Amino acid sequence: MDFRGKLILAPMAGITDTTFRLLCRENGADVVMTEMASAKGLLMQPERSRRFLEYREAERPIGAQLFGAVPGEIGEAAGRIREFGFDFVDINMGCPVRKVTSGGSGAAILSDPALAGKLVAAAVRGGGGIPVTVKIRSGAGNESETYLEVAQAVFGAGAAAVTLHPRTRRQMFSGLADWSRIAALKREFPDRVIIGNGDVRLPGDAFRMIAETGCDAVMIGRAALGNPWIFQAMRRQLLAPAGAETPLPPDAPPSGERRALILRHGEEMHMRLGDAGTREMRKHLAWYSRGIPGAAAFRGELVRVGTLDGFRAAVGRFF
Ligand SMILES: Cc1cc2nc3c(=O)[nH]c(=O)nc-3n(C[C@H](O)[C@H](O)[C@H](O)COP(=O)(O)O)c2cc1C
């Protein structure tokens, strides 16, 4: 699994399901990941976890993300992930949500670099050769930024790559991601694969992050919401000759192409999940409508989108 030079779709709970991931892959994302799944849940209630781990061949390369704080569980779950055919397994050490950290998982692990190393060692052993990557924040709080120690521990235990989202656990999503931390991590581990993440929004931002930090790959999350085309736009900027004044490409394609993709998104969600899938499209429609005149009024109507016909009518009216 080679991450260098790649644009990676960030894992986002409740969003990056198989349908959305495939749309991103087809529009320029090089690598995708599932949303996080509990290692314990996967072992205790495999049927319920399968929903998070559904994927299709066309999505490859694809990683599955696990959260957990018990090395034995992470190790065994990594073995399952390999059996399911994923290309790599990622361990979540960045989620700041209380439901996850109260069990000692996610960003809570940043306070314990030794545990981070043990979790990766267990995943490497239990995963039977599948590459193990780790996604971290910069630390628990501003006074305790542990990302360098955590990276040291997980690389020492055999991690194939580290993604850094340089905000602390306490910051949640406030402020700006401090890319100088990504540069510091790359300086400390020049021969390792470092994936930069955080506030990569405009087409030129991926290029700028690589230029400013030296990171090997870029992970994009929120900028892809309602805009799976962002990857193509970023790729064009990456490929532009150095120093060339390239005009910024438009974020979104012509409206016909956009409408066709949105319809496909909703139709597939309905095929997979029935009307529940259509209701999930409300948030995607709100994202797709961003920046289009009349979007506020359109968003007000979305609570009434509940059937496939209603969804099609709404898309036909607005996009
Ligand atoms: C709605 C939402 C859900 C997320 N779920 C996950 C998750 O399951 N696992 C994870 O490691 N990060 C998760 N994240 C964090 C993103 O992967 C990413 O690190 C963060 O959004 C910063 O990148 P961005 O500025 O490109 O969005 C989530 C973020 C959002 C907004």
Cα 101 to ligand 1 centre (Å): 15
Expressed as residue numbers, the domain containing 263 is: 255-318
Instruction: Give how far the C-alpha of residue 36 lies from the chain's centroid of Cα atoms, to the nearest Å.
Output: 9
Q: One of 8, 42, 53, 95 is an active-site residue; which one? A: 95
35 lines ligand 1 (CB under 6 A): yes
CA atoms within 13 A on the CB side of 247: 2
Higher pLDDT, 196 or 172: 196
pLDDT at 140: 87
Q: Is the per-residue pLDDT at 251 higher than 80?
A: no
Count other C-beta atoms under 10 Å from residue 292's C-beta: 13
Would the CB of 18 count as within 6 Å of ligand 1?
no
- Mean pLDDT of the region 8-18: 97
Confidence category of residue 244, pLDDT binned at 50, 70, 90: low
| Banded model confidence at residue 246, pLDDT cuts 50, 70, 90 | low
In angstroms, rounded to a whole number, what is the distance separating the alpha carbons of residues 118 and 258? 46
Based on the fold, state whether residues 174 and 314 are members of the same structural domain: no
Which of 7, 9, 12 is the best mutation target for the ligand 1 pocket, counting ligand atoms within 8 Å of the beta carbon and taking the most?
A: 12
* pLDDT above 90 (res 145): yes
| Same domain? 114 vs 195 | yes
In this predicted model, what pLDDT tens digit does every residue of 119-129 receive, in sequence order?
999 999 999 99
Q: Is 284 in the pocket of ligand 1 (CB under 6 A)?
A: no
Burial 72-89 (b: 16+ CB within 10 A, else e): ebbbbbbbbbbeeebbbb
Closest-lying ligand 1 atom to the alpha carbon of residue 167: 22
pLDDT band at 241 (very low <50, low <70, confident <90, very high): low
Going from the Cα of 59 to the center of ligand 1, the distance in angstroms, rounded, reads 19
What is the rounded distance in angstroms from the CA atom of residue 115 to the CA atom of residue 122? 10
Total-model pTM? 0.96
**Closest C-alpha to ligand 1, atom 13:** 12
Per-residue pLDDT band for 130 (boundaries 50, 70, 90) equals very high
Pocket test of ligand 1: the residue of 222, 227, 231, 280 to mutate, having most ligand atoms within 8 Å of its CB, is 222
Whether residues 135 and 42 fall in one domain = yes
The predicted-structure confidence for 283-306, as pLDDT tens digits, reads as follows 999 999 998 889 999 999 999 999
Among the residues of 84-202, which ranges form H helices?
A: 98-101, 113-126, 147-156, 179-188
166-191: average pLDDT: 94
Same domain, 43 and 68: yes
User: Which residues have a Cβ under 8 Å from the Cβ of 206 and sit 6 or more positions away?
Assistant: 7, 200, 218, 220, 234, 237, 238
Residue 148 maps to a domain:
yes
| Domain finish residue from 206, 239, 272 | 239
- The answer to whether 147 and 107 have CB atoms below 8 angstroms apart is no
Pair (219, 264) in one structural domain: no
List the CATH number of the domain containing 16.
3.20.20.70
Radius of gyration (Cα) for the chain, nearest Å? 20
User: Do 115 and 259 lie in a common domain?
Assistant: no
**Based on the domain organization, do 206 and 261 belong to the same domain?**
no
- Examine the domain organization and report whether 281 and 168 are in the same domain: no
Question: Catalytic: 95?
Answer: yes
Report if residue 103 sits inside a domain.
yes
Q: Is the CB of 167 under 6 A from ligand 1?
A: no
